[in-house]
Amino acid sequence: MSAQLIDGKAAAAEMNARSLERAQRLREKGVEPHLAVILVGEDPASQTYVRSKEKACERAMIRSTAIRLPGNITQEMLIGKIRELNEDRSIHGILVQLPLPAHLNPDEVIEAIDPRKDVDGFHPVNMGRLSIGLPAPVPCTPAGIMVLLRRYGIDPAGRHAVIVGRSRIVGRPMAMLLINAHATVTVCNTRTPNLGEMTSMADILIVATGHRDTVNASMIRDGAVVIDVGINRFEGKLYGDVASDAADKAGWLTPVPGGVGPMTVAMLLSNTLDIAERG
Ligand code: GUN
Protein backbone atom coordinates (compact mmCIF):
# COMPACT_ATOMS: atom_id res chain seq x y z
CA MET A 1 0.00 0.00 0.00
CA SER A 2 1.38 3.41 -0.97
CA ALA A 3 -1.63 5.69 -0.62
CA GLN A 4 -1.83 8.04 2.35
CA LEU A 5 -5.17 7.67 4.08
CA ILE A 6 -7.47 10.65 4.50
CA ASP A 7 -8.81 10.40 8.04
CA GLY A 8 -12.47 11.45 7.90
CA LYS A 9 -13.07 10.25 11.42
CA ALA A 10 -10.52 12.65 12.90
CA ALA A 11 -11.71 15.55 10.73
CA ALA A 12 -15.33 14.88 11.70
CA ALA A 13 -14.44 14.70 15.40
CA GLU A 14 -12.85 18.16 15.18
CA MET A 15 -15.86 19.59 13.36
CA ASN A 16 -18.25 18.01 15.84
CA ALA A 17 -16.33 19.52 18.76
CA ARG A 18 -16.72 22.91 17.07
CA SER A 19 -20.43 22.22 16.51
CA LEU A 20 -20.89 21.46 20.20
CA GLU A 21 -19.33 24.83 21.07
CA ARG A 22 -21.56 26.59 18.53
CA ALA A 23 -24.67 24.88 19.94
CA GLN A 24 -23.69 25.85 23.48
CA ARG A 25 -23.22 29.47 22.41
CA LEU A 26 -26.68 29.46 20.79
CA ARG A 27 -28.25 27.94 23.90
CA GLU A 28 -26.66 30.65 26.03
CA LYS A 29 -28.52 33.12 23.83
CA GLY A 30 -31.78 31.22 24.36
CA VAL A 31 -31.80 29.50 20.95
CA GLU A 32 -32.14 25.72 20.93
CA PRO A 33 -30.83 24.47 17.58
CA HIS A 34 -33.36 21.97 16.28
CA LEU A 35 -33.26 19.53 13.35
CA ALA A 36 -36.29 17.58 12.14
CA VAL A 37 -35.58 14.34 10.27
CA ILE A 38 -38.32 12.58 8.32
CA LEU A 39 -37.92 8.86 7.67
CA VAL A 40 -40.54 7.14 5.52
CA GLY A 41 -40.78 3.35 5.66
CA GLU A 42 -38.50 0.64 7.01
CA ASP A 43 -35.40 0.68 4.77
CA PRO A 44 -32.72 -0.73 7.11
CA ALA A 45 -29.84 1.39 5.77
CA SER A 46 -31.93 4.57 6.09
CA GLN A 47 -32.92 3.59 9.63
CA THR A 48 -29.25 3.20 10.52
CA TYR A 49 -28.36 6.58 8.98
CA VAL A 50 -31.20 8.35 10.78
CA ARG A 51 -30.19 6.81 14.11
CA SER A 52 -26.60 7.94 13.60
CA LYS A 53 -27.83 11.47 12.79
CA GLU A 54 -29.92 11.50 15.98
CA LYS A 55 -26.96 10.36 18.08
CA ALA A 56 -24.64 12.93 16.52
CA CYS A 57 -27.18 15.69 17.25
CA GLU A 58 -27.43 14.55 20.85
CA ARG A 59 -23.64 14.63 21.30
CA ALA A 60 -23.53 18.17 19.86
CA MET A 61 -26.43 19.40 22.02
CA ILE A 62 -28.61 19.92 18.95
CA ARG A 63 -32.22 18.91 19.51
CA SER A 64 -33.42 16.41 16.94
CA THR A 65 -36.92 15.25 16.22
CA ALA A 66 -37.16 12.10 14.12
CA ILE A 67 -40.52 11.71 12.43
CA ARG A 68 -41.01 8.10 11.38
CA LEU A 69 -43.83 7.73 8.85
CA PRO A 70 -45.35 4.55 7.42
CA GLY A 71 -44.03 3.31 4.06
CA ASN A 72 -47.49 3.58 2.50
CA ILE A 73 -48.00 7.27 3.34
CA THR A 74 -49.45 9.34 0.50
CA GLN A 75 -47.56 12.13 -1.23
CA GLU A 76 -50.17 14.62 0.05
CA MET A 77 -49.79 13.52 3.66
CA LEU A 78 -46.02 13.66 3.49
CA ILE A 79 -46.07 17.13 1.96
CA GLY A 80 -48.62 18.19 4.60
CA LYS A 81 -46.19 17.08 7.31
CA ILE A 82 -43.36 19.05 5.68
CA ARG A 83 -45.56 22.18 5.54
CA GLU A 84 -46.20 21.80 9.29
CA LEU A 85 -42.46 21.69 9.93
CA ASN A 86 -41.93 24.70 7.63
CA GLU A 87 -44.34 26.67 9.85
CA ASP A 88 -42.89 25.44 13.16
CA ARG A 89 -40.68 28.29 14.37
CA SER A 90 -38.82 26.00 16.82
CA ILE A 91 -37.37 24.00 13.89
CA HIS A 92 -34.30 25.29 12.04
CA GLY A 93 -33.52 22.41 9.71
CA ILE A 94 -35.63 19.84 7.87
CA LEU A 95 -34.20 16.69 6.28
CA VAL A 96 -36.15 14.01 4.41
CA GLN A 97 -34.08 10.84 4.35
CA LEU A 98 -33.64 9.49 0.81
CA PRO A 99 -34.40 7.27 -0.99
CA LEU A 100 -38.17 7.48 -0.57
CA PRO A 101 -40.47 4.52 -1.33
CA ALA A 102 -41.08 4.21 -5.08
CA HIS A 103 -44.66 5.57 -5.06
CA LEU A 104 -43.49 8.96 -3.74
CA ASN A 105 -42.04 11.71 -5.92
CA PRO A 106 -38.80 12.93 -4.31
CA ASP A 107 -38.62 16.08 -6.47
CA GLU A 108 -42.01 17.31 -5.24
CA VAL A 109 -41.20 16.34 -1.66
CA ILE A 110 -37.90 18.22 -1.66
CA GLU A 111 -39.49 21.23 -3.30
CA ALA A 112 -42.04 21.38 -0.45
CA ILE A 113 -39.26 22.07 2.08
CA ASP A 114 -38.76 25.76 2.89
CA PRO A 115 -35.41 26.50 1.14
CA ARG A 116 -34.30 28.39 4.28
CA LYS A 117 -34.68 25.18 6.34
CA ASP A 118 -33.17 22.89 3.68
CA VAL A 119 -30.18 21.47 5.61
CA ASP A 120 -29.46 19.03 2.77
CA GLY A 121 -29.25 21.80 0.19
CA PHE A 122 -31.29 19.67 -2.23
CA HIS A 123 -34.05 22.24 -2.91
CA PRO A 124 -33.89 23.50 -6.52
CA VAL A 125 -33.41 27.06 -5.23
CA ASN A 126 -30.36 26.01 -3.24
CA MET A 127 -28.98 23.76 -5.99
CA GLY A 128 -29.43 26.69 -8.38
CA ARG A 129 -27.66 29.09 -6.03
CA LEU A 130 -24.79 26.63 -5.58
CA SER A 131 -24.49 26.20 -9.35
CA ILE A 132 -23.82 29.92 -9.81
CA GLY A 133 -21.61 30.22 -6.76
CA LEU A 134 -24.07 32.04 -4.46
CA PRO A 135 -24.18 31.24 -0.72
CA ALA A 136 -26.50 28.28 -0.01
CA PRO A 137 -26.67 25.28 2.28
CA VAL A 138 -24.38 22.76 0.59
CA PRO A 139 -25.28 19.05 0.36
CA CYS A 140 -23.53 17.34 3.25
CA THR A 141 -21.49 14.63 1.53
CA PRO A 142 -19.85 16.83 -1.12
CA ALA A 143 -19.41 19.63 1.44
CA GLY A 144 -17.60 17.14 3.68
CA ILE A 145 -15.36 16.08 0.81
CA MET A 146 -14.36 19.71 0.19
CA VAL A 147 -13.46 20.04 3.89
CA LEU A 148 -11.31 16.91 3.66
CA LEU A 149 -9.50 18.15 0.54
CA ARG A 150 -8.79 21.47 2.24
CA ARG A 151 -7.60 19.78 5.42
CA TYR A 152 -5.06 17.73 3.49
CA GLY A 153 -3.85 20.70 1.45
CA ILE A 154 -5.32 19.39 -1.80
CA ASP A 155 -6.34 22.43 -3.87
CA PRO A 156 -8.67 21.51 -6.77
CA ALA A 157 -7.73 24.70 -8.70
CA GLY A 158 -6.21 23.76 -12.04
CA ARG A 159 -6.64 20.03 -11.39
CA HIS A 160 -8.75 17.63 -13.40
CA ALA A 161 -11.49 16.23 -11.18
CA VAL A 162 -13.42 13.23 -12.46
CA ILE A 163 -16.69 12.31 -10.72
CA VAL A 164 -18.29 8.92 -11.26
CA GLY A 165 -22.01 9.25 -10.52
CA ARG A 166 -24.44 12.12 -11.16
CA SER A 167 -26.84 11.85 -8.22
CA ARG A 168 -28.58 14.75 -6.54
CA ILE A 169 -26.95 13.72 -3.24
CA VAL A 170 -23.32 13.60 -4.37
CA GLY A 171 -22.34 13.75 -8.05
CA ARG A 172 -24.11 16.89 -9.21
CA PRO A 173 -23.42 19.15 -6.20
CA MET A 174 -19.84 17.79 -6.09
CA ALA A 175 -19.38 18.94 -9.69
CA MET A 176 -20.64 22.42 -8.82
CA LEU A 177 -18.38 22.73 -5.77
CA LEU A 178 -15.33 21.64 -7.75
CA ILE A 179 -16.18 24.03 -10.60
CA ASN A 180 -16.51 26.82 -8.01
CA ALA A 181 -13.07 25.76 -6.69
CA HIS A 182 -11.60 26.21 -10.20
CA ALA A 183 -11.14 22.54 -11.10
CA THR A 184 -11.68 21.16 -14.59
CA VAL A 185 -14.56 18.76 -14.01
CA THR A 186 -15.72 15.64 -15.84
CA VAL A 187 -18.88 13.85 -14.67
CA CYS A 188 -19.32 10.21 -15.71
CA ASN A 189 -22.42 8.03 -15.56
CA THR A 190 -23.47 4.47 -16.32
CA ARG A 191 -23.51 5.20 -20.07
CA THR A 192 -19.99 6.63 -20.18
CA PRO A 193 -18.08 4.48 -22.67
CA ASN A 194 -14.74 3.22 -21.41
CA LEU A 195 -15.00 4.53 -17.87
CA GLY A 196 -11.40 3.53 -17.10
CA GLU A 197 -10.08 5.89 -19.77
CA MET A 198 -11.90 8.77 -18.08
CA THR A 199 -10.96 7.88 -14.50
CA SER A 200 -7.31 7.42 -15.50
CA MET A 201 -7.19 11.12 -16.42
CA ALA A 202 -8.21 12.26 -12.94
CA ASP A 203 -5.95 14.16 -10.57
CA ILE A 204 -8.89 13.98 -8.15
CA LEU A 205 -11.27 11.05 -8.58
CA ILE A 206 -14.60 11.00 -6.74
CA VAL A 207 -16.47 7.69 -6.92
CA ALA A 208 -20.12 7.80 -5.90
CA THR A 209 -22.07 5.07 -7.66
CA GLY A 210 -23.24 2.85 -4.79
CA HIS A 211 -21.61 -0.17 -6.47
CA ARG A 212 -18.66 -2.09 -5.10
CA ASP A 213 -15.53 -2.22 -7.30
CA THR A 214 -16.74 0.50 -9.70
CA VAL A 215 -13.10 1.59 -9.89
CA ASN A 216 -9.96 -0.51 -9.40
CA ALA A 217 -6.21 0.18 -9.49
CA SER A 218 -6.00 -0.23 -13.29
CA MET A 219 -8.40 2.74 -13.68
CA ILE A 220 -6.43 5.15 -11.46
CA ARG A 221 -3.56 7.47 -12.39
CA ASP A 222 -0.41 7.03 -10.26
CA GLY A 223 -0.61 9.31 -7.23
CA ALA A 224 -4.20 10.46 -7.79
CA VAL A 225 -6.42 11.63 -4.94
CA VAL A 226 -9.20 9.02 -4.69
CA ILE A 227 -12.37 9.83 -2.75
CA ASP A 228 -14.54 6.77 -2.17
CA VAL A 229 -18.10 7.76 -1.31
CA GLY A 230 -19.59 4.24 -1.36
CA ILE A 231 -21.07 2.47 1.65
CA ASN A 232 -21.98 -1.03 0.46
CA ARG A 233 -22.86 -3.72 2.99
CA PHE A 234 -21.92 -7.27 2.02
CA GLU A 235 -21.98 -10.26 4.40
CA GLY A 236 -21.87 -7.93 7.41
CA LYS A 237 -18.88 -5.91 6.17
CA LEU A 238 -18.69 -2.43 4.68
CA TYR A 239 -17.14 -1.82 1.27
CA GLY A 240 -16.71 1.35 -0.72
CA ASP A 241 -17.17 1.83 -4.45
CA VAL A 242 -13.40 1.54 -4.97
CA ALA A 243 -11.59 -1.82 -4.97
CA SER A 244 -8.95 -2.40 -2.27
CA ASP A 245 -6.08 -2.55 -4.81
CA ALA A 246 -6.56 1.21 -5.34
CA ALA A 247 -4.32 1.75 -2.32
CA ASP A 248 -1.32 0.58 -4.41
CA LYS A 249 -1.89 3.25 -7.03
CA ALA A 250 -3.52 6.28 -5.37
CA GLY A 251 -1.50 9.00 -3.65
CA TRP A 252 -4.35 9.78 -1.25
CA LEU A 253 -7.36 7.62 -0.45
CA THR A 254 -10.41 7.85 1.80
CA PRO A 255 -10.96 4.56 3.66
CA VAL A 256 -14.38 2.91 4.06
CA PRO A 257 -15.42 3.08 6.83
CA GLY A 258 -13.79 6.17 8.38
CA GLY A 259 -13.44 8.38 5.29
CA VAL A 260 -16.31 10.33 3.80
CA GLY A 261 -19.09 8.83 5.96
CA PRO A 262 -18.34 10.59 9.26
CA MET A 263 -17.96 13.91 7.43
CA THR A 264 -21.49 13.71 6.03
CA VAL A 265 -22.99 13.69 9.50
CA ALA A 266 -20.57 16.38 10.71
CA MET A 267 -21.67 18.67 7.86
CA LEU A 268 -25.32 18.06 8.68
CA LEU A 269 -24.73 19.40 12.20
CA SER A 270 -22.81 22.34 10.81
CA ASN A 271 -25.52 23.16 8.24
CA THR A 272 -28.18 23.02 10.98
CA LEU A 273 -26.16 25.42 13.13
CA ASP A 274 -25.60 27.78 10.18
CA ILE A 275 -29.39 28.16 9.90
CA ALA A 276 -29.95 28.47 13.67
CA GLU A 277 -27.21 31.13 13.93
CA ARG A 278 -28.82 33.13 11.14
CA GLY A 279 -31.91 33.38 13.38
N1 GUN B 1 -29.53 9.41 1.75
C2 GUN B 1 -28.21 9.17 1.60
N3 GUN B 1 -27.49 10.28 1.85
C4 GUN B 1 -28.38 11.25 2.16
C5 GUN B 1 -28.24 12.62 2.53
O6 GUN B 1 -27.15 13.19 2.60
N7 GUN B 1 -29.40 13.27 2.80
C8 GUN B 1 -30.62 12.67 2.71
N9 GUN B 1 -31.69 13.40 2.97
N10 GUN B 1 -30.78 11.40 2.37
C11 GUN B 1 -29.66 10.70 2.11
Q: pLDDT for 98-130, tens place per residue?
A: 999 999 999 999 999 999 999 999 999 999 999
- Residues of 63-97 as b/e, b for ≥16 C-beta within 10 angstroms? bbbbbeeeeebeeeebbebbeebbeeeebbbbbbb
> In one letter, which amino acid is 36?
A
Ligand 1 pocket, 96 CB below 6 A?
yes
Ligand 1 pocket, 98 CB below 6 A?
yes
Q: Are 269 and 142 in contact (CB under 8 A)?
A: no
Question: How far, in Å, CA of 89 to CA of 45, rounded?
Answer: 30
Q: How close is the Cα of 54 to the center of ligand 1, in Å?
A: 14
97 is catalytic: yes
Which residues lie below 8 Å from residue 153, measured CB to CB, with a gap of 6+? none
- Report in angstroms the alpha-carbon separations of 170 from 6, 77, 220: 18, 28, 20
Question: How far, in Å, CA of 105 to CA of 130, rounded?
Answer: 23
Q: How close is the Cα of 217 to the center of ligand 1, in Å?
A: 28
* Residues in the chain, total: 279
- What are 149-178's pLDDT values in tens digits? 999 999 999 999 999 999 999 999 999 999
Exactly one of 81, 117, 118, 120 is catalytic; which is it?
A: 120
Substitution candidate for ligand 1 out of 169, 172, 174, 241 with most atoms within 8 A of CB: 169
Question: How far, in Å, CA of 254 to CA of 148, rounded?
Answer: 9
pLDDT at 180 over 90: yes
Give the pLDDT band (50/70/90) at residue 63. very high
279/145: higher pLDDT: 145
Which atom of ligand 1 approaches the CA of 141 most closely?
Answer: 6
The pLDDT value recorded for residue 279 is 83
- What are 15-49's pLDDT values in tens digits? 999 999 999 999 999 999 999 999 999 999 999 99
Q: How would you class 29 by CB atoms within 10 Å of its CB: exposed for 0-12, middle for 13-18, buried for 19 or more?
A: exposed
Q: How close is the Cα of 43 to the center of ligand 1, in Å?
A: 13
pLDDT at 268 over 80: yes
Q: What share of the chain is helix, strand, coil (3-state, %, to 5)?
A: 45, 20, 40
Mean pLDDT on 131-148: 98
Ligand 1 pocket, 140 CB below 6 A?
yes
Ligand 1 pocket, 138 CB below 6 A?
no
Give the pLDDT band (50/70/90) at residue 58. very high
Question: How far, in Å, CA of 242 to CA of 57, rounded?
Answer: 30
Give percent of the chain above pLDDT 90: 99
Domains located in the chain, CATH noted: 31-114 (3.40.50.10860), 138-261 (3.40.50.720)
Q: How close is the Cα of 186 to the center of ligand 1, in Å?
A: 23
Per-position DSSP letters for 205-271, written without gaps between them: EEE-SS-TTSB-GGGS-TT-EEEE---EEETTEEE-SB-GGGGGT-SEE--TTTSHHHHHHHHHHHH
The pLDDT value recorded for residue 66 is 98
Question: How far, in Å, CA of 265 to CA of 262, rounded?
Answer: 6
- What are 198-234's pLDDT values in tens digits? 999 999 999 999 999 999 999 999 999 999 999 999 9
Ligand 1 pocket, 169 CB below 6 A?
yes
Q: In what order do the strands lie in the sheet with 93-96?
A: 63-69, 34-40, 93-96
Confidence (pTM)? 0.98
Question: How far, in Å, CA of 265 to CA of 243, rounded?
Answer: 24
